[in-house]
Amino acid sequence: MLPGVLHLNVQPDIRPRRVADYIPLLEGWIRVAQDADMPIYFETHRNRMTTDLFFTLDLMDQLPEMRMLADLSHLLLGREFWYPISDEDELLVRQVLDRSGAFHGRVGSREQIQVEITFPQHKIWLDLFLRWWKHGFKSWQRRAGADARLTFACELGPPPYAISDRHGKDTTDRCEEALLLKSLVRNLFESTANDAQPSVETGSVA
pTM of the model: 0.91
User: What is the predicted pLDDT for the residue at 175?
Assistant: 95
User: What is the predicted pLDDT for the residue at 4?
Assistant: 76
What's the longest Cα–Cα distance across the chain?
Answer: 50
Strand partners, 151: 102, 201
CB 104, CB 153: distance < 8 Å? yes
Determine the distance from the C-alpha atom of residue 181 to the mean position of all C-alpha atoms in its chain, rounded to a whole number. Answer: 14
Sheet holding 68-70, edge to edge: 8-10, 40-43, 68-70, 100-105, 149-155, 199-205
User: What is the predicted pLDDT for the residue at 196?
Assistant: 47
Burial class (CB within 10 angstroms; exposed 0-12, middle 13-18, buried 19+) of 107? buried
- The Cα–Cα gap between 199 and 147 comes to 8
- The Cα–Cα gap between 24 and 11 comes to 16
User: What is the predicted pLDDT for the residue at 1?
Assistant: 62
Helices 53-62 and 72-79 sit at what angle, rounded to 10 degrees?
120
pLDDT, averaged in runs of 10, over the chain (206 residues): 83 92 96 95 96 96 97 96 96 98 97 96 98 97 89 93 92 96 97 64 59
CB 162, CB 171: distance < 8 Å? yes
User: What is the predicted pLDDT for the residue at 139?
Assistant: 97
Of the chain, the end-to-end C-alpha distance in Å amounts to 28
Across the chain, mean pLDDT equals 92
pLDDT in tens, 110-128: 999 999 999 999 999 999 9
Question: Phi then psi for 174, rounded to 5 degrees?
Answer: -60, -40
User: What is the predicted pLDDT for the residue at 195?
Assistant: 46
